[in-house]
Amino acid sequence: LVPQSVMLERVNDIKAWALTLLGVALAAGAVACYWMAYRSYSPIRDMMMAVMNGKQPGQPVLVNEYEFIKTSIAETLAEGKEMKEKLEGHIPVVRAYFLTRLLKGQADAAALEERSLQLVGVRFPHGCVCVALIEVDESSEFLIDRSERDWALLRFVLYNLSSELLGDRGYVMETDRNRLALLLNLPDASDDSRSERDALIEELKQMSEGRFRTKIAVGVSSIRRGLPETGRCYEEALNALDYRIIHGASSLVHYEAIQDKGGTFYHYPMETEAQLMNYM
C-alpha cells in the first residue's frame, strides 16, 4: 500500500548521514594516523641516517630500522670495549715511559698533575719520594751462561719480587740490563719512614740472595718532598751506588752516609799516574 522509498525515506537519510560521517571519520583518522606515524618515525629515520653515514661502504643495511639500530648499537659497544681493552694494554708501556722520564727529571710540570697521573695509571698518595737503585752482580749464581735470556729472566724475577714487596707504596722500573730502580712514595722524611724504607730494601736483599742466589748492590737516596724532586733522588741513588766498589758487590749504601764526602778528590801527578798505569 505504501512504497518502500516513502516508508524508509527517513531511515535512508539517517543511513546516508551515518555512512558519510563514518567516511569522514575514517579519512580524518587516516590523516591523523599518518601524521602521528610520520612524526614518530622522523627521529628514527634521522637516527638511522646518522648511523648509516658512520658505517663503512659495503656493509649490509637491514630493512627493519629498529633491528638496524639495535645491531649498530651492539657493534658500537663491542668496538668500544675492544678499543678500551687495547688502550688498557698500552697503559703499562705508557706508564713505564712516564716513570722513566720522571726518574730522569724529564717529566713536564703538566704531566705531574693529578688528572695526567690518573690517565697513565699512576698514583702518588703521599708527598715525599725516594729512589733506590738495584744493581745485580754479574757473578750471581742465578746466571748460568749469562745470556740475554738469563738477564731478562733475572730482571723479570726481581721486578715481580720488588713489585710484590712495594705494593701501593711505589713503582719498579728497568733502567739497564743489570739495574732496576725503585720509586718509593713515603708520607714524610721521619725516622719511621726511613725505617720502613730500609726494612723493605733489607727484605728484598735477603729474598734475592737467599732464594735466588743473586747478590745485589743497592744505592738509596734521601727522602725529598714533591714529585719534581725525583730526578734529584735518582742522581743521589747513582752517587750512592758508585760506592759499591768500596763496600762490595752486596752492599747497601745510603746517600746520607756519603753526602758529606762530596768534596773529597784525589790528585795524581803525571809521574805517579804513569807508574799506576804501568802497574795496572
Rounded to 10 degrees, the C-alpha dihedral 249/254/259/261 comes to -40
Residue-wise pLDDT for 54-65, tens only, equals 665 555 555 677
Q: Please give the distance of CA 158 from its chain centroid, rounded to a whole number.
A: 21
Say how far apart CA 11 and CA 250 lie, in whole Å. 118
H or E stretch covering 31: helix 9-54
Q: What is the DSSP string of 182-218?
A: EEEEES-SSHHHHHHHHHHHHHHHHHHHHHS---EEE
| Residue that wins the pLDDT comparison between 117 and 232 | 232
CA 203 – CA 227 distance, rounded (Å): 26
- Taking CA 139 as the corner, what is the angle to CA 134 and CA 142, rounded to the nearest 5 degrees? 80
Could you tell me the three cell numbers for 262?
A: 762530596
Q: Please determine, for residue 3, whether its predicted confidence score (pLDDT) is greater than 90.
A: no
Check residue 33 and give its pLDDT.
93
Q: How far apart are CA 70 and CA 46, in angstroms?
A: 15
Q: Lowest-pLDDT range, 85-94, 181-190, 211-220?
A: 85-94
Percent of the chain exceeding pLDDT 90 equals: 14
Quick one: pLDDT at residue 131?
Answer: 92
Cell 735470556 belongs to residue:
149
Confidence band for 145, pLDDT divided at 50, 70 and 90:
low
Phi, psi values for residue 56, rounded to 5°: -75, 150
pLDDT category at 216 given cuts 50, 70, 90 is confident
Note the pLDDT of residue 244: 82
CA diameter of the chain: 160
Q: What mean pLDDT do residues 129-153 have?
A: 77
> Is residue 23 predicted with pLDDT exceeding 80?
yes
Give the pLDDT confidence of 106-135 residue by residue, as tens digits: 777 666 777 777 777 788 888 899 999 998
Provide the pLDDT for residue 260.
64
Average the pLDDT over 168-196 and give the result: 87
